[in-house]
Structure 1
Amino acid sequence: MRTIKYSSIAMLACGLMMATGCTDNFDQTNTNPNKITVESGKMAASSMFEPLLYGGANFLTYYSYNWNNELAQYVALTGNTMGRVYKYDIGDSNWASVWRTYAKYASNAQEMYRLATKQGNKPLEAVALTLKVMYMDGLTDIFGDIPYAEAFKAAEGVKTPVFDSQEDVYKEMFADLEAANKIYATNPEVSKSIKTLDGMYGFDMMKWRKFNNSLYLRLLCRISGRPSTIASDGKNVIQKINEIVTDAANYPIIASSEENATVKFSAIAPYYSEFDPQEYTKDGINCYRATKNLIMLMVQKKVDDEKVDLNIDPRLQIFMQQAKVGYWSYCGVNIGKSDFGGGANLNVTTFLRNNADEWFMDYSEVEFILAEAAMRGWINGGEEVAKNHYLNGVKASLKKWSDYGIVTEPQNLITDEAVEEFLQTPLASWDNAADKLELIGNQRYLAAFMVGMEGWIEYRRTGYPVLTVDESFMNDGILPTRFAYPNTTIATNRVNAETALKRMGGENDMKTPLWWSKKAIESGK
């Protein structure tokens, strides 16, 4: 009998825009014996944690596979005439599903926080705030203006919450992360009875605190194009980045790969990772083929002969399976084109298993943020410090994927020697790069593969890597800048949704740039 994994567990879903009110009760319709259920009124805050962690990791991995990887042009789904995300064939049912899912998880994190506060469980208050911000950040980075201050208050009579500007959403997220950091600082231990629930950190509160503050850095970096924005305590975005980086005692951050926000799955029910072979097939995964953009970032070709690979990123053989042509090919898988014969495809042996690790954030991302910060002068040290952080970031990413390479067929370990050789190639060399920020952006993009929606989100912030569009694309040939609000959201909260659209300066479509994006800043919006 098929065993249900955590992504299917029934959870309280106080939707942001629903006209009907939510109660404090969980969905009682779930009677599958393989699902974890609870009785209304007998919920402990700790009971909410596992679905938020494991289910959240699974849905973010699914969204990376189904949405991010095509929007950010890592791959294209070539074996199916339906669901051409890479051609921006995205509609209301898709927007609604993404909206509901992020809102559901954020809502449940808020409920976990409420219960933890009521039950006097300070460590879980902090964890709930961290998870809430992570999910709400995903929602605003996909849609733009969203409810935050009035979100999840249907039980209090708030049926049509006001949409906060994205700037205000970020300020509210910063406030929650500040609050969580302070709670972690004074509550370093949880009850031993719940430590086994946490398949990421084992409720090591220092590691959770580092993840919280690293997430804080991610968000600050995201809006760094609006440097005068006040983040907290009267400090603007750049000042706050500097404070976090220079005050490790009060703002510890992820400082090694051992502190990665990695969710581990045992393959014992219901702890199955997203690519469970009972739900995914080899043929289905093989339909996703590498784009020309990805291959050209990861393979140095001979100038006059693309059949000759001069240097290859060692992660590529873990990401993808090479076509049987003797070289890394994309064979027509150039975004928008119809010639999909051959070409590298997703590596089935890497992903098609039910005990694969999944990630919220990792050390390489933190190092790339610090590299950019040093290059831009947000922190001291200039290019020398930037180079050191950049090298740490690349090495950390290669180490992470080498750990995945252990299970591939054939095994693909990345040795220390291979790492050093790679760093000397034109693909990754710091010293030979004409544009250091582009190099950082490109390597951060590669490191973000299969980390939620980060590739697409970061591309909209930096413009890196350079992606291509085609005349055959929908959305008037414009790479989506956001997802549109679902029709149900507009219908049930029209005044507030339309106010948000007017404030963002566009229609309810996928062409309006978000407040923090490179496109919005350069256009003066």
Structure 2
Amino acid sequence: MKKIIKYPLTFIVLLAIGMTSCKKEFQKLNKNPNTLEVANDPSLVGNIEVNSFFNSAYNAWTLGNGMSQYATFSQSYYNTLARYIPASNQPYWQVLYTDARDANQVITDSKANGNTAMQAVGLILRSYSFAQLTDLWGDIPFKNALQGQNGNFAASYDGQQTVYTDPALGVLPSLRAADSLLKSSVTAITGDLIYAGDITKWRKFCNALRLRYLLRASSKLSSAAAEMQKIVSDGTIFQSASESAELTLPSSVPYAFPSITERSGDYSIKYLNTLLYNFFVNTGDQQRLTLLFAKNVTNQNATGFNFSYYGGMPIVSDANTAQVNSASGFNSSIFLSSPSSPVLKARVITYQEVEFILAEASLKGLITTGSAATYYVNGITGAYADYGIDAVSTAAYLSNPSVVYNPANALNQIITQKWVGNFDVGFEGWIEYRRTGIPAFDAASANLNGGKISTRFLYPPDEQTINAVNYKAELQVQGGTESTSYKAWWEK
């Protein structure tokens, strides 16, 4: 027989009080006062900046420098993507959408609390993410993207022209709006790791990106020239290399410059590409060659300087001994042990790039302010300043007959110098090659894309599963089959 125990009413009341108290204590203990339950805007801004700038350096070092033909990866285990095999680059796609989502949150919050400066920062950072996405993948989920919090994980694709020009969300209208907000803003930018909240420098960063994308789309946008001229006339643009959009990365993981923590085996298979080596030789560019690269194995004990002590490697499947011995690897004293070196700064857009943009714009009659020759000289000066190369060496380089501005060869000079200056800046060398065809890339050696330089990444596998309906609809736009030869809107 079960024995029933009867407790006094006072005991039951005390037990209930005790349990309620314990529950409250558990609630207090389970809440970490040192962790943000909802990310605030300053923390979002800093996180987006680190993601954007680190990934610009990381993607360049691990893939972009190969696809831009600055470097050759000597072993087939590492170099299939750099040989233009169709690939998705899904990790970067995910980073960019995460950054765009977080920037969108900054925009929403800043509109609500009236902080126009932070709203502008959000617009700039979101625009950069979307521009990277469309320049690297083509048509993308855009107008209906960033709706995951509403349960929408399957957004339709929009064309690149829409991504660039949509009045509400487009890259160019958003950057234009950001500049206008910053121009009249009296609020503060917080959480900023790039310019420490300096509104004028953020305007210059914004206008640098505007000039990049306006030039890129200038053959398709009748309004591009007028807008570029307005930006130049306003004068709020980078004035020196010290204003470039760049970030000094820490010396420790996970955000160290990628060469610093790379395994020796991964580091040692990266060599100076023949195309870049020939540029150094043909223009007498001793300074950048010796700063970035080491003497080859055959001449590693040679004294003094001679271009023959260095060498380039063509795009190869697997380099043979002779190719390895004659080609220059990266300068280990810089890339493995000098985290504070200006060479290892993570860059998104620089003063030198802006000057080369203006040089091309001037040459083509898109702007009337200044001269192409002056902008060209400024670009080279800025490129040398990026690496801390002294003024005397810069002047000597500018006096080289192959470097002196030549009106008959000006476009090739401008774009090639811009290509060199964008070394270690994401995929910019590859993107600009697709726009201009300059310099002439090697499309034959060990190419895995039918002898063609690919023009885009494939869509990530997640798009084919999570967003299958819209992915299949996009394939019909491309002719029924996804192709790495499907060109950008601004390429056509």
Among candidates 312, 324, 345, match of residue 341 of structure 1: 324
* TM-score, scaled relative to structure 1: 0.78
Structure 2: distance between partners of 1:287 and 1:57: 24
- Cα pair 2:86 2:484 within 8 Å, conserved: no
Are 1:318 and 2:301 counterparts?
A: no
Conserved 8 A contact 2:352-2:378? yes
> Per-residue deviation at 1:331?
5.3
Return the offset for 1:37: 8.3
Aligned to 1:173: 171
Task: State yes or no: 1:455 paired with 2:429.
Answer: yes
1:420 corresponds in structure 2 to: 395
> 2:453 maps to which residue?
479
Q: Is the helix fraction higher in 1 or 2?
A: 2
Distance 1:199 1:491 in 2: 37
Report Cα offsets for 1:355-374 as digits up to 9, x if no partner: 44211111101100100011
SS class of match (1:481): coil
Matched with 1:183 is: 181
Secondary structure at the aligned position of 1:190 is classed as: coil
Q: How many residues align?
A: 442
Match of 2:277 in 1: 295
SS class of match (1:333): coil
CA distance in 1, matches of 2:103, 2:442: 38
Q: What's 1:371 paired with?
A: 359
- Is the CA contact 2:72–2:270 (under 8 Å) kept in the aligned structure 1? yes
Cα distance between partner residues in 1 of 2:44 and 2:459: 28
CA–CA distance in structure 2, aligned partners of residues 511 and 97 of structure 1: 21
Match of 2:67 among 62, 68, 71: 71
**Contact between 1:449 and 1:455, CA under 8 Å: does it hold in 2?**
yes
The equivalent residue for 2:54 is 58
- Pick from 476, 486, 490: which aligns with 1:512? 486
Q: Compared with structure 1, are the counterparts of its residues 514 and 475 closer, same or farther at alpha carbon in structure 2 (3 Å cutoff)? A: same
In 1, Cα distance between equivalents of 2:311 and 2:446: 19
Describe the superposition over 1:416-454 as per-residue Cα deviations: whole angstroms up to 9, x where unpaired.
2221221122442213x6421011010000010111211
Gaps of 5+ in 2: 1-31
Query: Are the equivalent residues in 2 in contact too, given 1:145–1:504 (CA < 8 A)?
Result: no
| CA shift for structure 1 position 266 | 5.2
Q: 1:286 to 1:201 in 2, by over 3 A?
A: same
The amino acid of 1:399's aligned partner reads A
The Cα of 1:145 is off from its aligned counterpart by 0.8
Question: Matched residues in 2 for 1:492 and 1:266: separation?
Answer: 36
What SS does the aligned partner of 1:70 have? helix
- Counterpart of 2:229 in structure 1 is 242
What is the TM-score of this pair, normalised by structure 2?
0.83
The 1:429–1:67 alpha-carbon spacing in structure 2 relative to 1, beyond 3 Å, is same
Cα distance, 1:80 vs structure 2? 5.9
Matched residues in 2 for 1:509 and 1:485: separation?
A: 10
Of 213, 234, 240, which aligns to 1:256? 240
User: 1:505, CA displacement in angstroms?
Assistant: 5.1
Cα 1:491–1:281, aligned 2, differ >3 Å: closer, same or farther? Answer: closer
Q: What is the one-letter code of the residue matched to 2:256? A: S
Q: Deviations over 1:161-187 (max 9, x none)?
A: 221110110011111112211221122
What does residue 209 of structure 1 align with?
203
What displacement does 1:86 show? 2.6
Aligned-partner Cα distance in 1 for 2:458–2:254: 33
What are the Cα deviations for residues 488-513 of structure 1, in whole angstroms up to 9, with x where unaligned?
21333234333334435573121211
Q: Deviations over 1:35-69 (max 9, x none)?
A: x984333x321121221112321111110111210
- Which 5+ residue runs of structure 1 have no aligned equivalent? 1-32, 229-235, 301-309, 404-413
Give the Cα–Cα distance (whole angstroms) in 2 for the partners of residues 273 and 237 of structure 1: 38
Alpha-carbon shift at residue 189 of structure 1 (Å): 4.5
State which of 465, 470, 492 in structure 1 corresponds to 2:439: 465
8 Å contact kept, 1:83–1:89: no
SS in 2 for 1:274: coil
Q: Tell me the distance in 2 between the aligned counterparts of 1:464 and 1:227.
A: 22
Deviations 1:385-431 (A, max 9, x none): 10000000001101111x2xxxxxxxxxx332221221122442213
The superposition leaves residues 99-118 of structure 1 with CA deviations (integer Å, 9 ceiling, x where unpaired) of 21221222222122223333
User: C-alpha separation between the residues in 2 aligned to 1:103 and 1:214?
Assistant: 22
| Match for residue 96 of structure 2 among 94, 102, 107 | 102
Alignment match, 1:361: 349
Alpha-carbon displacement from aligned partner over 1:272-318 (angstroms, at most 9, x marks no partner):
532374x3245532321011101011112xxxxxxxxx933421212
Deviations 1:232-261 (A, max 9, x none): xxxx1222112222233xxx2212222111
Distance 1:439 1:139 in 2: 28
Contact 2:124 2:178 in 1 (8 A): yes
RMSD of aligned Cα (Å): 2.5
Supply the AA of the counterpart residue of 1:391. V
In the alignment, which residue of structure 2 is the partner of 1:446?
A: 420
Q: Which amino acid in the other structure matches residue 370 of structure 1?
A: L
Deviation at 1:158, TM superposition (A): 3.2
Give the number of the structure with larger relative contact order, counting CA–CA contacts within 8 Å between residues 6 or more apart: 2
The letter for the 2-side match of 1:344 is: S
Q: Deviations over 1:111-165 (max 9, x none)?
A: 2222333343322111111111111111110000112221101223433222111
Residue 459 of structure 1, CA deviation: 0.9
Structure 2: distance between partners of 1:80 and 1:474: 11
> 2:16 corresponds to which residue?
none
> SS state of the match for residue 77, structure 2?
coil
Q: Equivalent residue for 1:39?
A: 36
Determine the C-alpha separation between the residues in 2 that align with 1:244 and 1:125: 20
- Aligned partner of 1:27 in structure 2 is none
> Does structure 2 retain, via aligned residues, the 8 Å contact 1:299–1:427?
no
Deviations 1:57-90 (A, max 9, x none): 1111110111210111100111563343332245
Q: Which has the larger radius of gyration?
A: 2
Q: Whole-Å Cα distance in 2 between the matches of residues 37 and 212 of structure 1?
A: 34
1:274 aligns to 2:257 (yes or no): yes
Return closer, same or farther for 1:253/1:273 CA change in 2, 3 Å cut-off: same
Preserved CA contact (<8 Å) 1:200 1:262: yes
Aligned counterpart, 2:142:
148
Contact 1:71 1:86 in 2 (8 A): yes
